[in-house]
Every structure is written in structure tokens, then in C-alpha cells.
Chain A
Amino acid sequence: MSTSNLPAETIQVPQLASGLLVWRRQLMVIFRIEFGKAMFSRRAFSCYALISMPIILMLAVAFDESRDGSNAFATIESARRIFGYIFSALIIATVLFLGNAAIFTTLFRGEMLDRSIHYYLLTPVRREVLVIGKYLAGLGAAFVLFGLCTLICFLLLYVPFGVEQFITDLSNGIVTQQLGLYLGIVVLGSMGYGAVFMATGLLFKNPLIPIIVVAGWEMLHFLLPPALKIFSIIYYIQGLLPIPMDQGPLAVIAAPPPLWISIAGMFGLSAFTVAISVLVLKRLEIRYTDE
């Protein structure tokens, strides 16, 4: 019997779930694809190279012994201070900044260069879902990579002092408090930089110039008056450091923002730039010959 002879009512109409359920499912799919790309594609190599540097440095410091047998980590306090310096100068200022630039600018610009963005644009997915899915995937990958880097570096701090010191600090709550703050800084920094770089990747054909401008602004933030400091991401996250760093004699001192302002600031920035990205993507007409 041919199928044309079947009664019409037996043909199954696909069950379409309501909006929220579809969006959630689409979000999960986009998240899974983009998270995999950010973590395991060839492009992720730069991020792995970046996070290996502070780990190598911490390994060198932890296992460094001078001729008299002393270590750069003379005491646990100096070890925490050195880690704080490495975290502030290396992990935040370069690894987090450049790593987020690499992850988030390629979310859209990378797809355009690879000539694959039209696959997304042709699917029945709302642009809002696409932007949020990609942003969350980038954020997840950034947190896994840079959080892991922070965690490993923090644990290496205890190498010269042994497990006893680690257990003592853990029971005193020092480890949980400091590690929690460092990881929180990684999340907030990734949120802020990620949002900016995702929008940058959408707005500019060559995102290098805006990245250099943002890098210059962030590097010179210590010279800025307090009224302008609020426009730099580093101002919100540096205030959360458990061990504040000396910013040099030329620095313009400003009171660090309260914790809730730092968190609200980064969430606000993320929401704002994600909204901008949605607006840009809604008007986007891709012509690969222009890229």
C-alpha cells in the first residue's frame, strides 16, 4: 500500500513545545556547541598557552631554592603576597584580558571569518537566544580555563609549606575565603571583558584596534581620576583582591567600590552589551565578500 492512501489524520504533526521550553532547549544546544568550540578547537590553543604561563611561573617559584636553601616563599604571608601579585599583574591584567579577548571576539567574528555564521542565522532561533547562548558558553569556557589556572596556582602556593599548612588554612577559612574571592574576580572579570569583547567582535571588522584601546585604558586606569575610573572594568575587580596591591607612586588613589556595586556593575555591563549585541545581530546581513 502506498503512503498516499493513508488517511490524513494518521500523519503526525510535530509537537511544538511552548516558547520558553524551545528557547531553553535551543540555548542548551548553542551552549554545548560553543562551549566545545571555545574549549577544544584550534583557537583554544592560545588560551591554553596563556594559562600555562602563570602555572609555570608558580611552579618555578614553588620549587625554586637558592644556594642557602631558602625559597622565594619565605613565609606563608610572603607566599600569599607573591601569589596576589602574580594574580593581579599576570592573571588579571594579561591572562584574563587576552584570554577573554581570544574567546569572546571569535564568538561572532570567528564565525564570520570561517564563513559559518549563516548556518546559525538560517535556523529558526531567536537572535536573543543565539547571543545569550554564545555569551554563556564563552563565560563558561572562560571560567573553566582561568578558574582552573587560578586554582592550580593557588594550590602551588602551598608546595613549600606542605599539606599541614594547607589543612590549617582550610580549617581557618583562609583558603575558602581567599580562593573564593580570586575565583569570584575571575567570574566578574570574564563577565565584564567578555561582554565588551563580544560586542567588539560584532561591531568592528578588525577588533584589534578596540582591543588595544581597551588594553590602554585598563593599563592606565591607575592614573585616571575617580570619576573616570568607574568606566574601567579593572576598577571593579581590583577592589575585591584579598591582598591589595601597591599601584605605584603616580597612582590616583580612589576608594574601592563595595562588593555589591562590583557585582551589580559587571551584571549591568553584561546585560547592556548583550542587549547591544542582540540589536546589532538583529540588523545583521552577512556578506562574506565584505569580510
Chain B
Amino acid sequence: MAIFQKAYQGYSGPLTKPMDRTWVIFRYALADVFQSRLFLAFFAVCFLLPILLMCFLYLFYNLEFLIEMDVDLEELTEIDGNFFLLAMQYPQNFMLFVMIMAIGPAMISPDIRNNAMPLFLSRPINKASYILGKLLVLLVLGSLISWVPALPLFFWQGYLAGGGWLGDNLHLIVASVVTSMAWILSLSLLSFAVSAWVEWKTVARLAFFGILFFSSIFGGVVTEIFGGWGGYMVNIYAGIEVIMRELYRADSNLLDWMADMQIGYALLQFFLLSVISLFVLTRRIRAFQVVS
């Protein structure tokens, strides 16, 4: 039979589960990320913080060590939400920012630049699977360096402190998970949106940094001129600080600067940022591309 007489027939065989196809995207994206030795080194360094904090907590409750070091027991600070906010969550947020800035803007742009999107979407993979597969890389890696190591840290502290410390501070677990996930999810979607619209990885990273840098200063200037919380709505750092302060039940005067905004608005800010980023992202992920 001549080839032109062969009409197209859709595949009618068995299909894998939709989530299985998402995991394929995830697996390949993860392999791409770990091709960089520099990233691997950075990822390993991120685990030093919980290890150091575990050692610190061990020494903190080691009376012999404290006496030997001539530490005044009266002056020892209390291990509570303030401590975990300053010593754990702040550095983790910074590491998450660096990680997402390093890999997020480089995840979508090569596929669009090399006209690979039709190849992905002509298979039984839809936009949602594609985005979720890529997003899972950042969610998994981000979780591994933020709230996942925080959990054993809380349990370790609870074990060392005793006296129902863990029961009294269960909100810290929620605080760590919610803060980290809000930060990872919103920054990841923003980095994907930038990556989808900017052709080159380097430029996309620069644009991602520029958006966050500019929005924080712009928000500060708006607040300074108009007052109120309106300026904080464009300042993502203000939003995450409000969420951390509320969930960790930290002192308002813990830092020299704290945004005066309700947590509801901060959560709304992250929700809006994620929705806008997702909208911008889906506009660029199409099953057809104009090849110039």
C-alpha cells in the first residue's frame, strides 16, 4: 500500500497513568539538574545547617560542656520560635532563593528555545503534567533542604528539652512546612514564568533576580510615601516575613524591620503571585511553535 494511503489512526493501546507520565518529566529534569557539579556541591552544603543546629542543640543541653566553657546559665537564650526563625528559617529561605534562582529559570527556556514543546505535547502529556513534572523537581529539592530536615530538628529539640516541649510547640512544625512551601511554590512558578518568556538561561536568571530586587525596593518606596500595607503587597520579602512572624509566633521587635501587614494579605500575595505566574506560564507552553 502506498504511504499516502495510510491514514492517521490514533493509538488505541493501553496508556500509563497520567501521574506516571509526570514522573518521567520529573526524572529527566532532575537528572539535568544534577549534571552540574556546582549545584551538587551547593546542595550538599545546604545540609550543613541542620547538622550544625543539631550539634548546637546537643551542646546547649550538655551541662558539663556549658560549665567547662564558663557559660552563665542565667544568660542562655530560650529555644523557641524566635530561635528557629532566626537560626533556621531565615538561612533556609536564603538557600531556597539561591537554589530556585540557579535552576528554576533554566528549566523551561531550553525546551522553548529549541522548539521541543511540540515534541512533549504531541505525546500523552498535557500542559499540567509538563509543568507539574518540572515543578516537582523544585518542590522535592526545596523540601529536602528546608522543612524535611527541620522536622528531625524539632524532634531532637523536643527530646533534649523534655517536659512536653514538643507538645507546646507543635505550631513550629506547621510554620516550617507552610513557610517553606509558600516560598518554594511561589518562587518556582515565578522562575518558570520568567524562564518561559526569556530565551536565554543567563538572562532569565538575571530577570528573576531583577524582578525580586526591584519589587522589594519599589514596595518599600510605596510604603514610605503612602504608608499602609499597599506597598508590602508587591514586596514578596515582606510577605514571607509576615507569614514567618505569625506562624512562628515570633516577637514583633525581633528584627529591626517587620512589615505591618496581616497574615491574610501575605497569603493572598503569595496566592496572587502564583496564579499570575501560572497564567503567564501557560500562555507560553503551547503544542505548536512558530519556527523562525
Residue ranges of A at the interface with B (Cβ–Cβ < 8 Å): 43, 46, 50, 53, 57, 60-61, 64, 72, 82, 85-86, 89-90, 93-94, 98, 101-102, 105-106, 109-110, 113, 205-208, 211-212, 215
Contacts and interface: CB of A to CB of B under 8 A. Distances in A.
23 contacts: A53-B218, A57-B218, A57-B221, A57-B225, A60-B226, A61-B225, A64-B226, A72-B225, A82-B225, A90-B217, A90-B218, A93-B217, A94-B214, A94-B218, A98-B214, A101-B210, A109-B202, A110-B203, A113-B202, A113-B203, A206-B205, A208-B206, A211-B206
B84 interface: no
Interface of B: 101, 200, 202-203, 205-207, 209-210, 213-214, 217-218, 220-222, 224-226
Nearest to B206: A208
A102 B220 CA distance: 23
Chain A interface, >50% SS class = helix
A94 B202 contact: no
B202 A207 contact: yes
A70 to B, nearest CB: 13
A90 B202 CA distance: 24
B30 to A, nearest CB: 22
Contacts of B217: 89-90, 93-94
B187 to A, nearest CB: 16
Contacts of B206: 101-102, 105, 207-208, 211
Chain B CB within 10 A, most for which of A50, A64, A93, A94: A94
Contacts of B222: 57
Contacts of B213: 94, 98, 215
Contacts of A86: 221, 225
Nearest to A90: B221
A208 B209 contact: yes
Contacts of A109: 202
Contacts of B221: 57, 85-86, 89-90
Contacts of B207: 46
Contact of B205 (A46, A60, A208): A208
